[in-house]
């Protein structure tokens, strides 16, 4: 049987990224005690009012089809939240509710880019971006985030990458996997570039509540982006509910209308009890979210300090997000060899970053998603593994 050309464009997306994780899953299934620091799945409990909301909604049998682009009250709550946080107007017509930020990104990309277009993104990028852009038919042009700038964008290089084919610039801050939080001036410069060349600025703000080094500035707040900003976000990370698949795309009403058409042929609306469950969490900033942000800030600092003792490894506390980047290049091992050895000897699973982009080759992503004591125990085992490398006889 034949398949559509699409299947080749989306195949293999980040599959290599998960090899070590998959091996760790198999080892655990075989009875080995494994510590997983691979996936960005928050360990914190969700807020009680979210769980209670889901329970009450289901008890009231709110199990029918919901409006395709989301329930009006929930779209309004998201719009108000964006307006409250950004200081820029946002209306329900600017919002479509999607299955997480992932589907928001996919829908937005499908609606703004196509064959022959170019989308400028960064190196490294979150592992799904390649397939998302390729699915649209467009080509992703990767501009390195500068390691010497703490993985912040090289604005001149981004400007130089713009061609007549460029349709959009796609950014992500706080950034996965590097933890960089772009500052307001950087975002303004990118927004101005988009304005000058009539481009969309697509901003993945899924870690918006997890900025430590400086405040998160949504591109929605920038006047340069009026009419061209597309913000995707969700409650997956900030509210520790990735399984709820509750995200959104915010953009001009025409884009939202196109996205809603796409959602109609794709998802046909989301679960109403999920949308009702999160309504109170959208209407105000919950203390649980501040607590979770503080958890990741504290864990990032503590792990960076601990892993600073690992011979041949370089590390810095993240500026935001839920990951720590460990540079193992001085050990002489590749990131994959380091991760495989660490898994085998110490039973700790972390993610080689090579599939995120050439610019982070030799680094590993450590997910800070364990309670402090367990996380630091895993950190000590990483240090022990690195010490063991130093003692091993030369190959
Ligand atoms: C940068 C980035 N964007 C999007 C997503 C997807 O998030 P969601 O669960 O909201 O689909 C993730 C998840 O890890 C991510 O790291």
Q: How confident is the model at residue 224 (pLDDT cuts 50, 70, 90)?
A: confident
The closest-lying atom of ligand 1 relative to the alpha carbon of residue 204 is 3
Can you tell me the mean pLDDT for 222-248? Answer: 95
- 253-266 and 100-112 helices, crossing angle to 10°: 110
60 C-alpha to ligand 1 centroid (Å): 31
**pLDDT tens digits along 8-21:** 999 876 666 789 99
**Considering only the top CATH level, what class is 48-285?**
alpha beta
CB of 242 within 6 A of ligand 1: the answer is yes
Q: Collapsing DSSP states into helix, strand and coil, what is residue 250?
A: strand
191 C-alpha to ligand 1 centroid (Å): 22
Can you tell me the mean pLDDT for 355-359? Answer: 88
Can you tell me the mean pLDDT for 59-73? Answer: 96
Report the pLDDT value the prediction gives residue 393, as an integer from 0 to 100: 59
Task: Return residue ranges of the chain for CATH 3.40.640.10.
Answer: 48-285
173 C-alpha to ligand 1 centroid (Å): 11
Can you tell me the mean pLDDT for 74-90? Answer: 97
The rounded distance, in Å, linking the Cα atoms of 356 and 13 is 10
The rounded distance, in Å, linking the Cα atoms of 240 and 46 is 6
CB of 270 within 6 A of ligand 1: the answer is no
Q: What pTM value is reported for the model?
A: 0.96
Residue 223 has pLDDT above 90, yes or no: no
Which residue's CA is the closest to the ligand 1 atom numbered 13? 40
In CATH, what number does 6-45+288-391 get? Answer: 3.90.1150.10
The rounded distance, in Å, linking the Cα atoms of 273 and 277 is 6
Q: Is 393 exposed, middle or buried (0-12, 13-18, 19+ CB in 10 A)?
A: exposed
Can you tell me the mean pLDDT for 361-373? Answer: 97
CB of 100 within 6 A of ligand 1: the answer is yes
Task: Return residue ranges of the chain for CATH 3.90.1150.10.
Answer: 6-45+288-391
CB of 176 within 6 A of ligand 1: the answer is yes
259 C-alpha to ligand 1 centroid (Å): 18
The answer to whether the CB of 159 falls within 8 A of the CB of 137 is: no
Report the pLDDT value the prediction gives residue 226, as an integer from 0 to 100: 82
Residue 394 has pLDDT above 60, yes or no: no
Give start and end residues of each alpha helix (H) in 60-161: 72-86, 100-112, 129-136, 155-161
φ/ψ bin of 312: left (φ > 0), alpha (ψ from -120 to 50), beta (otherwise): left
Residue of 127, 237, 238, 369 best suited for mutating to test ligand 1, as the one with most atoms within 8 Å of CB: 237
- At CA 97, angle to CA 91 and CA 101, rounded to 5? 115
- Distances, alpha carbon 174 to alpha carbons 27, 239, 346, in Å: 32, 16, 30
CB of 102 within 6 A of ligand 1: the answer is yes
CB of 101 within 6 A of ligand 1: the answer is yes
What the block records as the tokens of 232 is 């995707």
Can you tell me the mean pLDDT for 58-78? Answer: 97
Q: How confident is the model at residue 354 (pLDDT cuts 50, 70, 90)?
A: confident
Which residue's CA is the closest to the ligand 1 atom numbered 14? 40
Can you tell me the mean pLDDT for 266-295? Answer: 97
CB of 323 within 6 A of ligand 1: the answer is no
CB of 208 within 6 A of ligand 1: the answer is no
Contacts of 86 (CB under 8 A, 6+ apart): 218, 220, 221
What the block records as the tokens of 250 is 């915010």
């Amino acid at each position: 049987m034949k398949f559509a050309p699409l299947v080749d464009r989306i195949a293999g997306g980040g599959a290599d990224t998960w090899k070590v994780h998959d091996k760790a899953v198999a080892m655990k299934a075989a009875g080995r005690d494994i510590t997983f620091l691979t996936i960005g799945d928050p360990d914190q409990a969700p807020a009680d009012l979210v769980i209670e909301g889901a329970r009450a909604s289901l008890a009231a049998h709110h199990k029918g089809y919901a409006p395709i682009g989301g329930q009006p009250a929930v779209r309004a709550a998201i719009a108000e939240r964006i307006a409250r946080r950004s200081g820029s107007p946002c209306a329900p017509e600017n919002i479509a509710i999607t299955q997480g930020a992932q589907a928001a990104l996919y829908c937005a990309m499908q609606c703004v880019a196509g064959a022959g277009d170019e989308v400028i993104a960064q190196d490294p990028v979150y592992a799904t971006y390649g397939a998302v852009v390729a699915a649209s038919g467009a080509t992703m042009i990767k501009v390195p985030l500068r390691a010497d700038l703490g993985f912040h964008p090289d604005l001149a290089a981004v400007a130089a990458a713009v061609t007549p084919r460029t349709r959009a610039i796609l950014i992500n801050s706080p950034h996965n996997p590097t933890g960089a939080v772009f500052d307001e001036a950087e975002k303004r410069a990118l927004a101005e570039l988009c304005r000058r060349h009539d481009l969309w600025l697509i901003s993945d703000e899924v870690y918006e509540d997890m900025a430590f080094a400086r405040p998160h500035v949504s591109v929605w707040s920038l006047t340069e982006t009026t009419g061209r900003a597309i913000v995707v976000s969700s409650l997956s990370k900030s509210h520790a509910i990735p399984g709820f698949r509750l995200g959104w795309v915010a953009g001009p009403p025409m884009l939202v209308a196109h996205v809603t058409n796409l959602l109609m042929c794709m998802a046909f609306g989301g679960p109403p009890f999920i949308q009702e469950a999160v309504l109170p969490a959208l209407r105000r900033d919950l203390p649980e979210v501040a607590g979770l942000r503080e958890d990741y800030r504290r864990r990032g600092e503590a792990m960076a300090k601990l892993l600073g003792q690992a011979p041949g490894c370089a590390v810095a506390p993240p500026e935001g997000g839920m990951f720590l980047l460990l540079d193992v290049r001085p050990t002489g091992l590749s990131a994959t060899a380091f991760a495989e050895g660490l898994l085998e000897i110490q039973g700790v699973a972390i993610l080689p970053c090579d599939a995120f982009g050439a610019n982070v080759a030799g680094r590993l992503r450590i997910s800070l998603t364990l309670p402090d004591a367990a996380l630091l125990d895993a950190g000590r085992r990483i240090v022990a593994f690195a010490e063991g490398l130093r003692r091993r006889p030369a190959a």
